[in-house]
Structures are given as C-alpha cells and as structure tokens.
C-alpha cells in the first residue's frame, strides 16, 4: 500500500483529539463486507468513513512476523482467547484492518446453489438466487485471483490426504484459492507476510482508499445513533492497541447511512447495545458457527504441516447430510487436511506432562484432518452488565452424530494415507491404530473437546417477513431506516462452506441497492 493511501488511515497513536465527522456513509468493519460496500460507495463519489476496532498492519512495515503469539494478539478477536459461555467453542474472528480475511486460509467458495434455494424457500430471501449472484461471484474471483490450488502448493499432508481419501473410495477435489504469487510459507493464519493472500487489506480496501474513503483504525463503535426510526450516525471510541483499553479519545460520526459489518459474532451485540427495535425477536438469536472437528495422526515420515498452503484439496461429497426418513445417516461437513503452526498444535493436542512432550517432540511427523461441520444447533448472544457480548451455543443431537461421523471419515483417510496412529483430541486422547477400532469414536466424550467456531452467521437473519427476520432482502434493518447489515450475521443459516465469497456477493447486492435508491434512502 503506497504512502498516500496509508495517510488516509488514522491510528490510535495519531488520534490526538476527539473527532466530529459528517459523511454520507459510516461503515463499521473493514472485512469482506465492509470493504466491498465502502469501495462501491466511494467509487460512486460518496464520502465514506470506515471504523475498525482492530489495528492497521502492513507487510511493508514488517508487522506480519510469522510468530503465532504476536499475530494472534494483533489480528485475532479477543487476542484469540474468546470462547462460548461453556468454553467449548473457540471463537475465531478478525480484529484488524481487513478483518478475518487477513487470517483466513484463503479457500474461496461460491454460495452453494442449494443454500440459496433454501434461503429463498424457507425465509423468503429475494434477489440472492445463485443465478443473480453469479456476476458478483465472477467479479470477486477476478479481483481476488481465485484459482484451483496448484500441485506445487500441496504440502505432504495434502498429498497424503489425497492418497488416503482415494484409497478409502472418496472423491477429492482441488480447493479454489484467493492467492497471487504465493511462496508457500505456511503462515496463512498469522497473516500473509508477502501480500500473496488476497485479503481485503490488499484488494478492496486500497481501491476504497484511493477513491476517497478513510479509515479510523483502533476505533470501536459503541453505539448506533438512532432518531425517529432511522440511523443518523455512530458513537465510537479509540482503543490503545497496546493495552486494549480506551485511549480517552472519542469519535462521533453523523451520516446519512450506517453500514454495520462488524462480523458474525459482533454485529448483533452492537445492535443490541444500541437498543435497536426488534419486532421479530430474532436479533442475537439463530447463531450457527460451522464448528470444526479435527483428528491428528502420527506418521513415520516428516509432514511439517505448517509449510505451504493449508487446504489445497478436500472431500466435498459429504457437504450435505444424508437422511433416511428423518434419521441421520452420514455427512454434513467438508473434509480437508489441516494446517496448524507448532504452538497452536501444542494447545490442541491432548494429554499433559511427559506424554504431551513426547508428542511435541514428533511435531514434525504429526498431520491431521479437519471437518467444517454444517451445524443444525443454533445459539445466541446476550450482553453482560457492562454491555459486553456473551455467546452461547450447545450442539444438537444431530451435530453430535455428524461430528462422530466426520471423525470416523478423518481417521479412515489418515490410516489409508499411512498414519501409524490417529489421535482424537478428547480428554482421554483416544488412539486409533487400525480401521477395526473406528467404533471407539462412538464412545468419545465430545464434551471434553474444543471446537473452533470460524464461520458465525444468523444473528441478524435476512428475510422478507419482518416478524421472522431482522433485516430485509436489501440488507436494511426492517425496524430502522438507513441501517444496513453487510456481514454473515444476515445469512439465514450457515453457508456450509467458507463464507467470504458469499459475504462479498451479498455486500455487492446491498451496495448496488444503496446506490440505486440513494436519494430516498439518504433522505428517509
């Protein structure tokens, strides 16, 4: 990013006073949703101010140092330590300019056609059919250089996953990647130190800034300002990045339109804290997260899973759950090889003391699989006494069956791929050495396992009926004019794949509507 664009980003250490701003649009969040809307509005000549609670980090400043401890504190929400109320879900969301696109794996998926049809059939979502989204998919894929993973980018775990899956009789496919000039460093989850991953930080945000948009980084939106049934602006405060505490400086933004793109975990709590009217009773409910179930394995050869790209191949045929007369049979997840850097691997492997040390001494020979589970359980968010969000989620009976089935499939792939031992990360550290032991997964206590929650959705559900949904099919809140939600909060359910491309496509739909109806929306 050139110096002129950097000057359009105000960080906490340069915020020397309180700010009063008047703009056409205030956009809260700089991830996949906020960046797209800001780019479109700014290029159309609208004055745009983006508020980002996290910091501003750049490759050419040396900020992406590929150290797990540094980068988790810099770019992950809650410094990587936020969890659900019972501790079972590890919440993974972005907290930096560029949002979650800075730490995601760069696997890129169009919204499955069956999911678009479900949203239209069950929730009355209009204007978002697969066919209507295709032009936006194509634009995103051009802008992000989306392409199938090349052979040279497959690390040893990807290769063994392919081998094991094919021996098990499963069909594998290459995963589409948003990368350009990738060198295969393997530190995708720590932010790309080479600007090869096509995050919002290197794609849509520079375009938005070049078109005149500005960003207040380290600036937390505290409340949407609502008067007379419409959004009129945002009250915010600057955060001292070093301490995560308020710096003492504030910002008050008056705008014709407010776009909330604070992410699937945080948009609903912000609207709740702002006391947004909710006739539907659905605000903060219907949380789905695509919980991640994973198994590890010991091999007799070097794997070094933290090199090259994470998931270049996968088994997609189990994405939809197969049911028989309402009874679960199998599926409901995507299967991929996993990639964890050493410290994260150490945190997730079971056991303690010398047993754990023995595993970590062979870290270079440990590989694994991962399943993105299409959950059916729904959680919710509440606010504590200080207005901070608390997230609640409990797996449903079908989720338990799905997770166990996914672990069996993972173990099957790993054993066929040459693993000497599969390790389930439950409290007992269940070990599986051959296919005849797969039944032991039915006895695993899933309550002792932690699941990452990477893809939150649903807490500001979109729909045609105001009595059943929070936002309309344009993304505008049913109950507050001029207030738009442009992030996965608006999805009626989980997408069942990585949601980044869906977020961008939906945000293009909202931005085009905003520009097409600007006069009536802005004037109320």
What domains lie within the chain, and their CATH numbers? 3-56+96-104+109-143+199-287+458-515 (3.50.50.60), 148-188+290-453 (3.30.560.10)
Inter-residue contact 250 to 83 (CB < 8 Å): no
* E strands present in 419-515: 421-423, 431-432, 451-453, 483-485
Rounded to 10°, the helix 500-516/32-43 angle is 30
Mean pLDDT of all residues belonging to the chain: 96
In the block, tokens 């090869």 appear at: 196
SS3 readout for 328-360? EEECCEEEEECCCCHHHHHHHCCCCHHHHHHHH
Phi, psi torsion values for 24, nearest 5 degrees? -70, -45
CA–centroid distance for 478 within its chain:
25
In this prediction, residues 277-293 reach a mean pLDDT of 97
User: Is the confidence at residue 21, as pLDDT, over 80?
Assistant: yes
pTM: 0.97
| pLDDT for position 269 | 98
In this prediction, residues 85-93 reach a mean pLDDT of 94
Q: What is the dihedral of CA 290, 149, 421, 332, to 10 degrees?
A: 30
CA distance 404 to 416: 18
Q: Which class for 208: exposed (0-12), middle (13-18), buried (19 or more C-beta within 10 A)?
A: buried
CA distance 107 to 455: 13
Return the closest-CA partner of residue 305 out of 358, 353, 345: 345
Sign of the dihedral defined by the CA atoms of residues 466, 469, 471, 477, in that order: positive
In this prediction, residues 356-374 reach a mean pLDDT of 96
| pLDDT for position 493 | 96
| pLDDT for position 3 | 83
DSSP assigned state of 439? G
* Distance in Å from the first CA to the final CA of the chain: 37
* Interval 212-267: pLDDT, tens: 999 999 999 999 999 999 999 999 999 999 998 999 999 999 999 999 999 999 99
pLDDT category, 519, cuts 50, 70, 90?
very high
User: Is the confidence at residue 521, as pLDDT, over 70?
Assistant: yes
Inter-residue contact 454 to 444 (CB < 8 Å): no
In this prediction, residues 350-372 reach a mean pLDDT of 95
* Interval 94-118: pLDDT, tens: 999 999 999 999 999 999 999 999 9
User: Is the confidence at residue 294, as pLDDT, over 70?
Assistant: yes
* Interval 41-58: pLDDT, tens: 999 999 999 999 999 999
| pLDDT for position 284 | 98
Phi, psi torsion values for 446, nearest 5 degrees? -65, -20
Phi, psi torsion values for 49, nearest 5 degrees? -120, 125
| pLDDT for position 61 | 85
DSSP assigned state of 200? T
* Interval 383-431: pLDDT, tens: 999 999 999 999 999 999 999 999 999 999 999 999 999 999 999 999 9
Q: Which class for 224: exposed (0-12), middle (13-18), buried (19 or more C-beta within 10 A)?
A: buried
* Interval 452-497: pLDDT, tens: 999 999 999 999 999 999 999 999 999 999 999 999 999 999 999 9
Strand partners, 238: 219
Percent of residues in the chain assigned helix, strand, coil, to nearest 5: 35, 25, 40
In the block, tokens 């049809």 appear at: 117
CB environment 121-132: b (16+ within 10 A), e (fewer):
eebbbebbebee
In this prediction, residues 9-37 reach a mean pLDDT of 97
CA distance 308 to 183: 7
User: Is the confidence at residue 134, as pLDDT, over 90?
Assistant: yes
Strand partners, 404: none
Sign of the dihedral defined by the CA atoms of residues 397, 398, 401, 407, in that order: negative
Phi, psi torsion values for 75, nearest 5 degrees? -115, -5
User: Is the confidence at residue 2, as pLDDT, over 90?
Assistant: no
pLDDT category, 524, cuts 50, 70, 90?
low
Return the closest-CA partner of residue 188 out of 309, 71, 342, 98: 309
pLDDT category, 29, cuts 50, 70, 90?
very high
């Amino acid at each position: 990013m050139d110096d002129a664009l950097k000057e359009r980003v105000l960080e906490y250490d340069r915020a020397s006073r309180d700010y009063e701003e008047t703009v056409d649009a205030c956009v809260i969040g700089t991830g996949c949703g906020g960046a797209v809307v800001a780019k479109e509005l700014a290029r159309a000549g609208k004055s745009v101010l983006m508020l980002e609670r996290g910091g501003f980090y750049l490759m050419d400043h040396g900020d992406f140092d590929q150290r797990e401890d540094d980068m988790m504190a810099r770019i992950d929400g809650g410094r990587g330590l936020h969890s659900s109320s019972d501790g079972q879900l590890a919440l993974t969301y972005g907290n930096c300019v560029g949002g979650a696109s800075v730490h995601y794996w760069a696997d890129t998926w169009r919204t499955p056609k069956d999911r678009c049809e479900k949203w239209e059939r069950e929730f009355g979502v209009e204007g978002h059919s697969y066919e209507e989204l295709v032009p936006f998919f194509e634009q995103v894929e051009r802008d992000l250089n989306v392409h199938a993973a090349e052979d040279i980018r497959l690390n040893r775990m990807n290769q063994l996953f392919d081998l094991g899956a094919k021996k098990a009789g499963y069909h594998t496919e290459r995963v589409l990647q948003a990368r350009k000039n990738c060198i295969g460093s393997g530190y995708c989850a720590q932010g790309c130190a080479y600007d090869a991953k096509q995050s919002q930080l290197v794609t849509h945000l520079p375009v938005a800034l070049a078109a005149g948009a500005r960003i207040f980084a380290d600036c937390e939106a505290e409340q949407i300002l609502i008067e007379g049934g419409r959004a009129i602006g945002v009250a915010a405060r600057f955060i001292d990045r070093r301490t995560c505490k308020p710096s003492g400086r504030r910002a008050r933004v008056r705008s014709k339109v407010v776009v909330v793109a604070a992410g699937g975990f945080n948009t609903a709590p912000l609207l709740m804290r702002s006391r947004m009217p909710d006739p539907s009773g659905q605000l903060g409910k219907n949380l789905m997260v695509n919980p991640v179930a994973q198994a590890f394995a010991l091999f007799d050869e070097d794997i070094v899973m933290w090199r090259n790209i994470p998931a270049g191949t996968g088994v997609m045929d189990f994405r939809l759950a197969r049911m028989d007369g309402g009874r679960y049979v199998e599926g409901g997840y995507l299967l991929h090889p996993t990639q964890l850097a050493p410290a994260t691997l150490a945190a997730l492997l079971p056991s303690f003391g010398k047993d754990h040390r023995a595993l970590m001494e062979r870290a270079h020979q440990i590989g694994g699989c991962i399943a993105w589970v299409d959950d059916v359980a729904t959680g919710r968010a509440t606010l504590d006494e200080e207005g901070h969000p608390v997230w609640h989620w409990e797996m449903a009976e079908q989720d338990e069956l799905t997770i166990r089935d996914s672990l069996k499939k993972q173990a099957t792939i790993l054993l066929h791929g040459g693993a000497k031992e599969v390790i389930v990360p439950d409290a007992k550290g269940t070990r599986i050495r051959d296919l005849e032991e797969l039944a032991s997964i039915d006895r695993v206590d899933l309550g002792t396992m932690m699941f990452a929650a990477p893809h939150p959705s649903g807490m500001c559900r979109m729909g045609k009926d105001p009595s059943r949904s929070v936002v309309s099919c344009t993304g505008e809140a049913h109950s507050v004019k001029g207030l738009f939600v442009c992030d996965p909060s608006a999805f009626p359910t989980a997408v069942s794949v990585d949601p980044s491309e869906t977020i961008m496509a939906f945000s293009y739909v909202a931005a085009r509507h905003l520009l097409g109806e600007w006069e009536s929306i802005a004037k109320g």
